[in-house]
Amino acid sequence: MSAQPPYETLSWKSPAGASPFEELRGGRLTLIDQTRLPAEFLLMTCKTSEDVWRAIKQLSVRGAPAIGIAAAYGVCLGIQPLFAGANRPTRGDLIAAVEKTAAYLATSRPTAVNLFWALDRMKARAAAMPDAESDRIAAALMSEAKTIHDEDRLLCRRIGRFGANLIKDGDTLLTHCNAGALATADYGTALGVFYAAQEAGKKISVYADETRPLLQGARLTAWELAAHGIDVTLICDSMAAMLMRRKKIDAVFVGADRIAANGDVANKIGTYSVAVAARAHGVPFYVAAPFSTFDLTLSDGSQIPIEQRDPEEIRRGFGRQTAPDGIKIYNPAFDVTPAELVSGIVTEKGVITPVDAGEIRRFIQTE
């Protein structure tokens, strides 16, 4: 993988020309280790499902779609040892290993629904082959993980094209966190909209919120947009409202980790404040996300599980002590933006607007 775009956030390395079964048996998952950016562009290799779990938990791979893709490959790594020897596992043993690995990977992070969506797809693929031998099921699981990965490349470009129609030549845009190539297979959702606008010949500039406390905006979005040749300016999170008041922002685009049936959107902590500021200043606030980020089992955003992260991320972010020992720290990784603050949700099938339960149901069910 190269540090220059287009780069892949993750890739499955396996013997060239191998059958899907051989690909699974000899393959490894390679990731860009996002914890090292922007100082270093380093790859890490996951050889086991435990490696994938750790990579997700410690944010080496992060962003809702990328987490889902990594987890799908994690299932392949979880069943790999069953095929190491000369003997093949029984179908029952294989299904049990798939279920166990999926349940384990599901404990890595709670908020991004793409993780559970991808694991459910893997389990369903195995369950749909009741009469098959374990080799064939393993091959099908490898194909399914690759399909989830390939589909994401396609979806992001579709989202990009629909979202680019909302942008005018000369616009200045704001984004929060990183919903770019690093958060997906390779193009991004919210940042994919910017890439598509640029590819369509529109001149744009972007303000990137630094995104406290782990600085995905500073470390990842600023790096990624600059690498794509987009005019990007980094700001502290607390500066966005002031820029809106000064009429410096034409629209906001962010990604999402989970969208409830009524259109409430969970995304990186701080997104809600941006949406409130946007509404107060008459700035359109758009969310870009694929259908796999919708969770129609939840009627509203109050039911979305919000990840609480280690207080040390705030007390000693990046190794330097910035808060007293022993002080109480509250560190939710996400917040929920109510649907009424969202001007539209840009999906792979078009823009959902107005954002409400009826329109979302109609949009998703008729596609």
Nearer to ligand MRU, 27 or 192 (CB): 192
Compute the distance between CA of residue 254 and CA of residue 175 in angstroms, rounded to an integer: 5
Residue 267 contacts ligand MRU per CB under 6 A: yes
Please provide the distance, in angstroms rounded to a whole number, between the alpha carbons at the two ends of the chain: 35
Compute the distance between CA of residue 296 and CA of residue 360 in angstroms, rounded to an integer: 9
Nearer to ligand MRU, 249 or 256 (CB): 256
DSSP state letter for 290: -
Min. distance of Cβ 309 from ligand MRU in angstroms? Answer: 8
Binding ligand MRU (rule: CB under 6 A), the pick from 218, 256, 339, 342 is 256
Compute the distance between CA of residue 277 and CA of residue 243 in angstroms, rounded to an integer: 10
Compute the distance between CA of residue 359 and CA of residue 10 in angstroms, rounded to an integer: 34
Min. distance of Cβ 75 from ligand MRU in angstroms? Answer: 20
Count of residues near ligand MRU by CB under 6 A: 18
Q: Which two tokens stand for residue 14?
A: 């396996």
Q: For 126-171, give the DSSP string.
A: HHT-TT--HHHHHHHHHHHHHHHHHHHHHHHHHHHHHHHTT--TT-
Question: Which candidate in 152, 257, 295, 335 is catalytic?
Answer: 257
Binding ligand MRU (rule: CB under 6 A), the pick from 20, 24, 33, 62 is 62
Q: Are 342 and 355 in contact (CB under 8 A)?
A: yes
Could you tell me which stretch among 11-19, 179-187, 232-240, 296-304 binds ligand MRU (CB under 6 A)?
Answer: 179-187
Min. distance of Cβ 314 from ligand MRU in angstroms? Answer: 14
106 to 125, contacts with ligand MRU by CB under 6 A? 112
Binding ligand MRU (rule: CB under 6 A), the pick from 68, 78, 255, 338 is 255
Closest CA to 29 of 1, 60, 70: 70
Min. distance of Cβ 211 from ligand MRU in angstroms? Answer: 8
Min. distance of Cβ 67 from ligand MRU in angstroms? Answer: 7
Residue 185 contacts ligand MRU per CB under 6 A: no
Looking only at the bridges linking them, the beta strands covering 350-352 and 344-347 are antiparallel
Q: Kind and range of the H or E element at 216?
A: none
Compute the distance between CA of residue 31 and CA of residue 43 in angstroms, rounded to an integer: 5
Longest dimension (CA), the chain: 69
Compute the distance between CA of residue 247 and CA of residue 24 in angstroms, rounded to an integer: 53
Residue 63 contacts ligand MRU per CB under 6 A: yes
Whether 257 is catalytic? yes
Residue 149 contacts ligand MRU per CB under 6 A: no
Could you tell me which stretch among 98-106, 175-183, 274-282, 349-357 binds ligand MRU (CB under 6 A)?
Answer: 175-183
Nearer to ligand MRU, 177 or 230 (CB): 177
Min. distance of Cβ 21 from ligand MRU in angstroms? Answer: 32
Compute the distance between CA of residue 259 and CA of residue 345 in angstroms, rounded to an integer: 10
Q: Which residues in this chain contact ligand MRU in the complex, by CB under 6 A?
A: 59, 62-65, 112, 177, 179, 183-184, 189, 216, 255-257, 267-268, 333
> Active-site residue numbers?
257
